Amino acid sequence: MLRIVVCVSGGGTNLQAILDAMDSGLITNTEIIAVISNNAGAKALDRARARNIPAILMSPKAYPDREAFNEAFTARMCELAPDLVVLAGFLVKIPVQMVERFGGRIINIHPSLIPSFCGVGYYGLKVHEKVLERGVKITGATVHFINEEMDEGPIIAQKAVTVEEGDTPELLQRRVMEQAEWILLPKAIDDIANGRIKVKDGKVYGCL
C-alpha cells in the first residue's frame, strides 16, 4: 500500500481528483495518510476532514523565519513517513533538506508543458495569463518529480491542451485542469503505487 501525503494551498481540486480516482478504482493500492496546507482557509483542508483524513496546517507565517519553517516542515514530514509526497497546487518551495530526505519520492503537478511557463513566478492563474499573453496555441500540464531546482525535476508525463479563441485565464485554467491535471496526477500516483514507474539517477523509468 502506497502511503501518500498530499500538500495543497488552495481549493484542492487536484486533491478531489485524487479522492475521486481512489473511489472509482482508477487509483489502487494507495492511502492518503494526511493533507498538509500552508493556508488556514484552504478548502482542501475541509475536503480532507470530510473524509476523516488528518488535515494539517503548516504556514511559514507561524515561524520566525523560513529556515525555522523548513526545519519544522521537514521534521513533520519525516514523522508522517510517507512513501510519496504529492504536491497538488502547493505554493511553498520545498526545502532542500526535504528533497534530500525524500529524493525520488516527491511529485508535482504544474499547469504548463515544462520547460515552457515554469520556474519562479509561474504558478496558479499566473501561468495561464502568461500563456495567453504570449499567444501560444497549445498548453497543457506536466507531472514531474521534484529536485533542488524549481520545476526542473524528471518529467513523468505531460498532456497537451488547446488554447481556444476567446479564452480568459480562468477559462483556460479550468480546461487545463479538466483535460490534463485531473487525468495526469491520478494516473501518475497509480503508476507509482503499482510499480510501473520509478525515478533513478535523475531519470524516470517504466511504462509511462
Spatial distance between the Cα atoms of 93 and 103, rounded to a whole number of angstroms: 15
Q: Which of 110, 128, 175, 187 is catalytic?
A: 110
Contact between 37 and 67 (Cβ < 8 Å): no
Q: How far is CA 124 from CA 33, 77, 85, 104, 139, in A?
A: 25, 24, 19, 24, 14
Residue 171's SS3 state is helix
Is-catalytic flag, 110?
A: yes
Spatial distance between the Cα atoms of 121 and 119, rounded to a whole number of angstroms: 6
Contact between 54 and 3 (Cβ < 8 Å): no
Spatial distance between the Cα atoms of 83 and 120, rounded to a whole number of angstroms: 27
Spatial distance between the Cα atoms of 163 and 135, rounded to a whole number of angstroms: 9
Spatial distance between the Cα atoms of 66 and 97, rounded to a whole number of angstroms: 13
| Catalytic sites, residue numbers | 110
